[in-house]
Amino acid sequence: MNVPTLTLNNGVTMPALGLGVFQSPPEETAAAVAEALAVGYRHVDTAAAYQNEREVGEGLRRSGVDRDDVFLETKVWVSDYGYDEALHAFDKAAGKLGVEQLDLLILHQPATDRFEKTLAAYRALETLLHDGKVRAIGVSNFMPHHLAELLDRTDVVPAVNQVELHPYFTQPAVQAADAEHGILTQAWSPIGGMTFYPGWGEGRRSVMDDPTLREIAAGHGRTPAQVMLRWHLQRGRSAIPKSTNPGRIAENFAVLDFALGDDELDRIDALDTGVRSGPDPDVPRPERFDTPVPEA
C-alpha cells in the first residue's frame, strides 16, 4: 500500500510517513533502512549529528530500491552554521549518503545564542536550493518567534518545520504559525519517543501507556503507536517514527488501512500537557558548537 504524500510549498511531494534514525546505532542503521524500504517506506530522516548518514546510504543501496524513489531528508548541525560552513555541510552529508542531490535539507535547531549564524546557514540552504543540490529546504525546532525572524530576513519560506509533536505535546502555536505560512509541520518523537527514554526525567509518563490511546487502539484492534501515527496522518502532518526492530518497523507502517473518527482525533488532541520532553529550543547550549561534524 502506498503512503499518502504531502505536497510541500514549492510543489515537491514527500511521503507523509518516514523512518527516523536518531539513536539508531550505526551498525544497525543500514539494516533498519533496508528493512523499512522493503516494507514500503519511501522516506528516511537522518541528521549529520546522528552520525549514521553513511549507513543510511548503505541501507538504501542494499535495498535495491531506486534512489529516485526515496525521499532523503537530513539536517545541518549547529557547529556547521554560517554561510560557507553550511554549504560545506551539504558536501559532507551528500558524500556520506552517497547521493548527488538531497530531497530535503533542514537546520537542526535555531542557535539562539548565535542567531546570525543560523540565518547565514539558512541563506546557504537557499543557495543550495537555487543550484538544484537540494529539492526543498526547511528548519527544525523553530518556535513562532524564530520563524518570524527567519521569514523577515531571508527569502525562501521553509517547506518544513520538524518539531517535537506527540499526544502529550502538540505545540498548537507552532502548528498555527506553520500553517499560516504554508510550512508543513513534521512530528519528531511522533509516538512519544522522548517521553519514555530512560533517564529523560523523573516521573515522566510514557504516552504509550496512556489509557485513552489504549482504549482507542483496542477499539480498532491496533497498537497505541499505530493510533498515534494515524492521528498524525489524518491531521495532515508528516511523522518519522524511529525503530531498528523489524517487527516495529512493519507495525509503524501498517497504518494505511484504518481510520480514526473525528471524535477520536479530538480526544487525542485533548491529551496535550503543554510540557515538552526534549530540549527547549530557546535554552542556549553553546557546548553544541564544540562537536564538529566529521568530514567523512
Binding residues for substrate: 108
Our finding on whether 99 is near ligand NAP (CB under 6 A) is: no
**Shortest reach from residue 246's CB to ligand NAP, in Å:** 9
> What does DSSP say about strands 43-45 and 19-20: parallel, antiparallel, or unpaired?
parallel
Q: Which residues pair with 221 in a beta bridge?
A: none
Cα separations in angstroms, 153 against 85, 100, 185, 261, 282: 19, 29, 21, 41, 19
Q: Looking at 77, 188, 231, 253, which residue binds ligand NAP (CB under 6 A)?
A: 188
Our finding on whether 217 is near ligand NAP (CB under 6 A) is: no
Where in 25-44 is the site for ligand NAP (CB under 6 A)? none
Q: Which residues pair with 137 in a beta bridge?
A: 105
Q: Quote the CA–CA distance of 238 and 272 in Å, as a whole number.
A: 18
On whether the CB atoms of residues 150 and 183 are closer than 8 A, the answer is no
**Annotated catalytic residue 50:** yes
Our finding on whether 214 is near ligand NAP (CB under 6 A) is: no
- Among 57, 6, 36, CA closest to 187: 6
**Shortest reach from residue 288's CB to ligand NAP, in Å:** 11
Our finding on whether 115 is near ligand NAP (CB under 6 A) is: no
Residue 27 CB: number of other CB atoms within 10 A?
10
Our finding on whether 175 is near ligand NAP (CB under 6 A) is: no
Q: Looking at 74, 118, 175, 244, which residue binds ligand NAP (CB under 6 A)?
A: 244
Q: Looking at 162, 170, 171, 175, which residue binds ligand NAP (CB under 6 A)?
A: 162
Torsion of CA 128, 159, 243, 259, to 10 degrees: -150
What does residue 15 show for φ and ψ, rounded to 5 degrees?
Answer: -60, 130
DSSP state of 134: B
* Region binding ligand NAP by CB under 6 A among candidate stretches 115-123, 168-176, 243-251, 258-266: 243-251
Our finding on whether 210 is near ligand NAP (CB under 6 A) is: no
Q: Looking at 3, 8, 17, 21, which residue binds ligand NAP (CB under 6 A)?
A: 21
Catalytic residues: 50
Q: Which residues bind ligand NAP (CB under 6 A)?
A: 20-22, 45, 108-109, 140-141, 162, 188-194, 208, 223, 225, 240-245, 248, 251-252, 278
